[in-house]
Amino acid sequence: MCGIVAYVGHQEAWPIILEGLRRLEYRGYDSAGIAVVDFSGEIQIRKTVGKVGGLDLADREDSLQGSVGLGHTRWATHGRPSDANAHPHTDCHQRIVVVHNGIVENFMELKTGLEENGHEFSSETDTEVITHLMEEGMDQGLSFEDAFSRMGKLLKGSQAITATHEGNEGKICAMRLGHAGGIVIAHREGQGIVGSDLPALLPLFRHDSLVSGVGFLESGQMAVVTREGASYRDLDGHPIEKDTRSISPEDIIIDRGGYRHFMLKEIMEQPQAVASAMRERVDFQNGRVQLPGMPLSIDEIRSLRRVVLIGCGTSLHAAQVGRHLIERLSGLPAEAESASEFRYRDPYIDDQTLVVSIGQSGETADTVAAMHLAQEKGGRLVTICNAENSQATRLAEYTLFMRAGIEIGVASTKTFLASLTTLNILAAYIGQTRGVLSSEAAKELVEYLARCPGLIGEMLADTEIYRRLAREFYTCSNFLFLGRGINAPIAMEGALKLKEISYIHAEGFPAGEMKHGPIALIDRTMTTLALAPKDRMYDKVVNNIKEVKARDGVVLAVVTNGDTELASQVDHALYIPEAPENLIPLLTAVPLQLLAYHIAEMRGCDVDQPRNLAKSVTVE
Ligand code: G6P
């Protein structure tokens, strides 16, 4: 994870780098730093512990002057957040400066060797070996770029690295190794910019309608960027002809739109997110679904024997809902698994296995690695992803874009609902193609899908009840979330939302598991949120609620409009509209997001950037 920006051109570098870093804070925000090569060719560095804002040098006397530089916003892996551990890092004589994203897996071994050769380290980071390895190469007479590629060959692990050096050459080198963490490069009119992700390019291209010539590094590639242009090569120095792309800055511009937090804005955007996930895929007129450009032929879809869904965090919960949908709508055996576990098993995958990866960012290291594994084993690979041009989209045979618009809040909301919508469509498409889903059932699903944005909009029209409940519950220390069947993953998602943004301890369970342990936690100080919509598991969940009430537990229940009977038996009821079972998770998720948001806000938490987390987790 961690954000990287580097600039070479004719403007003052630090404000451009700072703006790029602000736009990358979703990648980590526990410390930050900027290095600039000043006009006498010396490297000047400023660092801060905490967020990027601490680097604003506008009113400071120790401002940085120079038109070449690089910066970093960190999510700590090796070494706690501190000035010494914040990037950029330098060699023994401050001739080389480096920012880094990822983990140098063999850093202990490299560090020992470098120390034996007299190199002095000033941080606890793995990154610092990179600067000293480059120093070693340059001491041996190698050029800056050759020392850079030599260093790359000595590292183990997945990473992205960017470096520059003292003097007036104005040269930035960037490298990508493995699949955790990308590097993008753009150049125009004597200015080059390098970033770990597309928003880093915005300071230079904000007013353009299209940025052309954007280069994405693949593993084992490096770029040399100067005022004259960008060139690409492999680590043996062979030039590479890079296929570049055109990107619209509008697609990556971000704005809070009058809301106090991005998370609230994104919750409110969910009706549009769900509607746009359906665009071109749901044929409302004929009551069926379609997937334009789907590369799997009808015969190939008919010969599928299994579907495996993978993801991490919120995307794992979407995968778990997806498992139910695939089983029900397409009649295929389906499994959902955390990508971080899947990649370390020996999963049985063949060309009759459809692997569906889910990820908002398309950059989560474990998910990308699991996709590589699935591909190596010959599986058919589809991704459901929000970020265009991300690794997942480049790897998969077919991308179902979530089309939720950029999501900034670290806690995923609208991309979760967009994933669930897309999974319904994918499952129905497979069912239709295999002749398992009847045209009546497809028609009914489509009719309800069409109503979903409106139903979600109704739920968002008045959020006063969540504020009221938040006032009552924001001092709680523990929460249990219960759900069954297709709503069990929503219970886990509700618990994840609450713990990640409010720091309240919360656990989600399939409600049937309560009696096997968690019920021991119930007393009058324990709050349980139970998902009890009118679906096939309703009676079972009502029994589970009674078991909690019988032990004096406090119960909040999410119930279907009109269910006054159950509402009267619990402490507080939150209502959702009636819907067919497959679409209920799109509705039950919403009260849980709003409750978590208002509780976190009332606790004074940094809702959009919770401690210790990052939006895009590109370390393993
Ligand atoms: C991080 C975020 C989570 C997110 C997970 C997976 O842990 O904090 O909110 O669900 O990554 O991200 P992805 O981009 O793969 O959906």
Q: Is the pLDDT of residue 518 over 90?
A: no
Neighbour tally for 259: CB within 10 Å = 14
Considering only CA atoms, which of 420, 20, 455, 25 is closest in space to residue 194? Answer: 20
Confidence of residue 602 (pLDDT cuts 50, 70, 90): very high
Reported as a single tens digit per residue, the pLDDT across 31-66 is 899 999 999 999 999 999 988 888 887 777 777 899
Q: What is the DSSP string of 556-580?
A: EEEEETT-HHHHHHSSEEEEE----
Residues in a beta bridge with 175: 161, 222
d(CA 480, CA 466): 17
How many CA atoms lie within 13 Å of 497's alpha carbon, on the beta-carbon side? 30
Confidence of residue 21 (pLDDT cuts 50, 70, 90): very high
As a residue count, the chain comes to 620
Is 499 a known active-site residue? Answer: no
3-state secondary structure of 351: coil
d(CA 201, CA 261): 24
CB count in 10 Å sphere of residue 271 = 19
Write the DSSP assignment of 392-420 as a string of letters: HHHHSSEEEE-------SSS--HHHHHHH
What is the enclosing helix (H) or strand (E) of 226?
Answer: strand 221-226
Classified as helix, coil or strand, 274 is helix
Cα–Cα distances in angstroms (integers) from residue 66 to residues 39, 166, 192, in the given order: 6, 11, 14
What is the token pair recorded at 250?
């509008």
Tell me which residue has its CA closest to atom 9 in ligand 1: 411
- Say if strands 478-483 and 527-532 run parallel, antiparallel, or are unpaired: parallel
Residue 183 CB coordination number (10 Å): 26
The finding on whether 367 has its CB within 6 A of some atom of ligand 1 is yes
Residue with CA nearest ligand 1 atom 8:
615
pLDDT (average), residues 215-229: 94
Q: What percent of the chain has pLDDT over 90?
A: 75
pLDDT at 251 over 80: no
Distance in angstroms (rounded) separating the CA atoms of residues 265 and 7: 32
Give Cβ neighbours of residue 173 (< 8 Å, ≥ 6 apart).
Answer: 144, 145, 148, 162, 163, 164, 222, 223, 224, 225
Bridge partner residues of 354 (DSSP): 307, 380
Average pLDDT, the chain: 92
Nearest-CA residue for atom 7 of ligand 1:
313
Return the residue whose CA atom lies nearest to atom 13 of ligand 1: 359
Beta bridge partners of 6: 70, 194
> Which of 29, 30, 315, 415 is the best mutation target for the ligand 1 pocket, counting ligand atoms within 8 Å of the beta carbon and taking the most?
315
> pLDDT band for position 452 (50/70/90)?
very high
Contacts of 70 (CB under 8 A, 6+ apart): 4, 5, 6, 7, 17, 34, 35, 88, 97, 99, 162, 163, 164, 172, 194
pLDDT at position 603 over 90? yes
Question: Does ligand 1 lie within 6 Å of residue 340's CB atom?
Answer: no
CA of 225 to the centre of ligand 1 (A): 31
Measured CA to CA, the distance from residue 13 to residue 66 in angstroms comes to: 6
HEC-encoded secondary structure of 148-202 = HHHHHHHCCCCEEEEEEECCCCCCEEEEEECCCCCCEEEEECCEEEEECCHHHHH
Q: Is 2 labeled as catalytic in the residue annotation?
A: yes
* DSSP class of 253: -
Task: Give every CB contact of residue 483 below 8 A, 6+ residues apart in sequence.
Answer: 489, 490, 491, 494, 508, 510, 511, 530, 531, 541, 588
C-alpha 23 – ligand 1 centre gap (Å): 17
Q: Whose CA is nearest to atom 4 of ligand 1?
A: 313
The band of 255, judged by pLDDT with boundaries at 50, 70 and 90, is: low
User: Mean of the pLDDT values across residues 380-390?
Assistant: 93
pLDDT score recorded for residue 258: 66
Can you give the pLDDT at residue 253?
64
Cβ of residue 364 lying under 6 Å from some atom of ligand 1: yes
The reported pLDDT for the residue numbered 252 is 66
Beta-strand relationship, 68-74 and 31-37: antiparallel
Check residue 562 and give its pLDDT.
Answer: 96
125 lines ligand 1 (CB under 6 A): no
Q: Is 610 in the pocket of ligand 1 (CB under 6 A)?
A: no
> Lowest-confidence range among 289-293, 375-379, 404-408, 429-433?
404-408
What's the gap in Å between 160 CA and the centre of ligand 1? Answer: 19
Query: Residue 412 in contact with residue 497, Cβ under 8 Å?
Result: no
Tell me the C-alpha distance between 323 and 302, whole Å: 18
509 CA from centroid of ligand 1 (Å): 20
Closest to 55 in 3D by CA, of 41, 70, 40, 42: 70
What average pLDDT does range 477-493 have in this prediction?
97
Ligand 1 contacts CB of residue 470 (under 6 A)? no
Q: Which atom of ligand 1 is nearest to the CA of 315?
A: 16
Distance 381 CA to ligand 1 centre (A): 20
Rounded to whole angstroms, what are the CA distances from 551 to 163, 473, 555?
61, 19, 11
Strand, helix or coil at 239? strand
| Half-sphere exposure of residue 183: CA atoms within 13 angstroms, side-chain side | 33
Pick the residue with more confidence: 615 or 102? 102
Confidence of residue 77 (pLDDT cuts 50, 70, 90): confident
Is residue 103 very low, low, confident or very high in pLDDT (cuts 50, 70, 90)?
confident
- Of 171, 242, 497, 615, the active-site residue reads 615
Q: Which two three-digit tokens encode residue 497? A: 């939302």
What does the pLDDT average to over 442-456?
Answer: 93
Whether residue 27 is predicted with pLDDT greater than 80 in this model: the reply is: no
Question: Ligand 1 test: best mutation among 25, 29, 314, 503, most atoms within 8 Å of CB?
Answer: 314
Integer-rounded Cα Rg, in Å, for the chain is 26
Q: What is the structure's pLDDT at 619?
A: 67
Atom 3 in ligand 1: residue holding the nearest Cα:
313
What lies within 8 Å, CB to CB, of 275 at 6+ separation is 453
* Cβ-proximal residues to 175 (8 Å cutoff; 6+ apart), any chain: 148, 149, 152, 160, 161, 162, 183, 217, 221, 222, 223, 235
**pLDDT class of 256 with cuts at 50, 70, 90:** low
Tens digit of pLDDT for each residue in 122-152? 999 999 999 999 999 999 999 999 999 999 9
Helices (H) and strands (E) in the chain, counts: 19, 26
In Å, the largest CA–CA distance within the chain is: 81
Q: For residue range 457-469, what is the model confidence (pLDDT) as tens digits? A: 889 988 899 999 9
Q: How far apart are alpha carbons 497 and 133 in whole angstroms?
A: 42
Element (H, E) at 22: helix 13-23
Q: Atom 1 (ligand 1): residue with closest C-alpha?
A: 615
Residue matched to tokens 């806000």: 601
Read off the pLDDT of residues 530-541 as tens digits, 9 standing for 90 and up: 999 999 999 999
Locate the ligand 1 atom nearest the alpha carbon of residue 312 and give its number. 6
Q: CB of 360 closer than 6 A to ligand 1?
A: yes
**Is the pLDDT assigned to residue 373 strictly greater than 70?**
yes
Q: Count of alpha carbons within 13 Å of 16, Cβ hemisphere only?
A: 27
Rounded Cα–Cα distance for residues 528 and 506 (Å):
10
